[in-house]
């Protein structure tokens, strides 16, 4: 079947997914800046502000208060086009084995009927998700060494093995790229999930300056993302490895330069699992309104959100709408 906006919609027939392995050693106390940058003077974190009532702290748009659902999404070529990404408030891009990337789509303001293809969790997810409180994490499984840490984390876990009714398989796609999530059922299984809260984003008028850009390409070792400004839509059209992925159009794109280090863990093929360090401070680039702005990021610890500022330390506003954050160690 075909889903809305030209995406393929999966058919029925759920099967059990196998829980894989990774551990979260080194999760706490990590910090880092851009890989080739000298260590800068820490930028003070701006005082938090409370978004106006009825406004999403994740998009800056009018929205109901809703629980946070994070979904791990496959992103190898065989997994594209994706389903349900246009409904996400926030999309993180993380590096995984062999230089590939995986997406973490975060939902709160609205939830699409289906999301996917869904894939497995990684060590880096534990620190990244702590800023949301106790969200729902929907994933296909995890390496056996990581499973105890996932269960001990402040997460409401939803996998095909624990909540089979929240998933379905697409018979038109081959495994493992055929598992899809029904978000409404995932949220129903976790009624106590934390609602969206301030994670450091600020929305409003653009800062002064910036470089006019029509297009920006961000490269990971085995994947490239190109964001092309569309003035009529006031958003960035997204292409992956040179091919557009449906109607994806974030209002703000953040290229966050982080430390990506090797972990002690690997996948079943022996490829080392990278660990994305999302605490500490470093440099970034913020794309909005057809311009690129140099920025700095600061996240003192995993329980806090990430503040993005100008190089001078003033809060750097995002454009209201969907936000993409690319966690890249490349420049």
- Residue 21 inside a domain? The answer is no
Taking residues 90-103, report their average pLDDT: 95
What does the alpha-carbon distance between residue 204 and residue 209 come to, in Å, rounded to a whole number?
Answer: 15
pLDDT surpassing 50 at residue 6: no
- The more confident residue out of 252 and 38 is 252
> With contact defined as beta carbons under 8 Å apart, do 137 and 158 qualify?
yes
- Give the pLDDT score at 46: 43
What does the alpha-carbon distance between residue 175 and residue 169 come to, in Å, rounded to a whole number?
Answer: 9
- Residue 42 inside a domain? The answer is no
pLDDT surpassing 70 at residue 289: yes
pLDDT surpassing 80 at residue 233: yes
- Residue 312 inside a domain? The answer is yes
Taking residues 62-69, report their average pLDDT: 95
- Give the pLDDT score at 60: 97
pLDDT surpassing 50 at residue 1: no
Taking residues 36-59, report their average pLDDT: 57
pLDDT surpassing 80 at residue 43: no
54-68, 231-245, 252-266 — which is least confidently predicted?
252-266
> With contact defined as beta carbons under 8 Å apart, do 306 and 131 qualify?
yes
- Give the pLDDT score at 37: 33
- Residue 10 inside a domain? The answer is no
pLDDT surpassing 90 at residue 35: no
Query: Which domain CATH number covers 227?
Result: 3.50.90.10
* CB count in 10 Å sphere of residue 39: 11
> With contact defined as beta carbons under 8 Å apart, do 235 and 250 qualify?
yes
> With contact defined as beta carbons under 8 Å apart, do 323 and 212 qualify?
no
Q: Which helix (H) or strand (E) holds 152?
A: helix 147-152
What does the alpha-carbon distance between residue 289 and residue 203 come to, in Å, rounded to a whole number?
Answer: 13
Domain boundaries, position 185? 59-328
pLDDT surpassing 80 at residue 200: yes
**What is the pLDDT confidence band of residue 273, given thresholds at 50, 70 and 90?**
confident
The count of structural domains within the chain is 1
- Residue 123 inside a domain? The answer is yes
pLDDT surpassing 80 at residue 269: no
- Residue 290 inside a domain? The answer is yes
**What is the pLDDT confidence band of residue 143, given thresholds at 50, 70 and 90?**
confident
- Give the pLDDT score at 31: 33
Q: Give the rounded distance of the alpha carbon of 294 from its chain centre.
A: 21
Prediction pTM value:
0.84
- Residue 38 inside a domain? The answer is no
- Residue 1 inside a domain? The answer is no
């Amino acid at each position: 079947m075909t889903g809305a906006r030209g995406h393929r919609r999966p058919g029925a027939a759920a099967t059990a997914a196998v829980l894989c392995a990774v551990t979260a050693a080194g999760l706490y106390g990590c910090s880092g800046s851009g890989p080739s940058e000298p260590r800068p003077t820490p930028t003070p974190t701006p005082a938090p502000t409370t978004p106006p009532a009825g406004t999403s702290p994740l998009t800056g748009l009018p929205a109901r208060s809703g629980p946070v659902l994070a979904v791990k999404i496959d992103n190898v070529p065989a997994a594209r086009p994706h389903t349900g990404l246009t409904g996400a408030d926030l999309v993180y891009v993380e590096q995984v084995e062999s230089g590939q990337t995986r997406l973490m789509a975060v939902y709160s303001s609205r939830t699409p009927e289906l999301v996917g293809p869904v894939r497995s969790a990684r060590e880096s997810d534990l620190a990244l998700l702590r800023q949301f409180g106790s969200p729902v994490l929907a994933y296909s499984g995890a390496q056996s060494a990581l499973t105890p840490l996932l269960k001990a984390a402040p997460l409401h876990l939803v996998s095909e093995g624990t909540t089979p009714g929240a998933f379905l398989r697409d018979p038109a796609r081959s495994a493992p790229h055929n598992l899809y999530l029904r978000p409404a059922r995932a949220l129903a299984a976790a009624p106590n999930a934390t609602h969206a809260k301030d994670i450091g984003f600020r929305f409003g008028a653009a800062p002064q300056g910036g470089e006019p850009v029509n297009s920006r390409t961000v490269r990971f070792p085995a994947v490239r993302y190109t964001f092309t400004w569309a003035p009529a839509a006031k958003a960035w059209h997204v292409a992956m490895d040179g091919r557009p992925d449906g109607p994806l159009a974030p209002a703000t794109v953040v290229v966050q330069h982080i430390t990506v280090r090797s972990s002690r863990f690997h996948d079943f093929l022996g490829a080392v699992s990278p660990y994305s360090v999302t605490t500490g401070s470093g440099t970034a680039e913020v794309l909005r309104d057809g311009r690129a702005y140099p920025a700095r990021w600061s996240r003192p610890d995993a329980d806090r959100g990430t503040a993005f500022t100008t190089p001078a330390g003033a809060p750097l506003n995002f454009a209201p709408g969907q936000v993409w954050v690319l966690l890249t160690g490349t420049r």
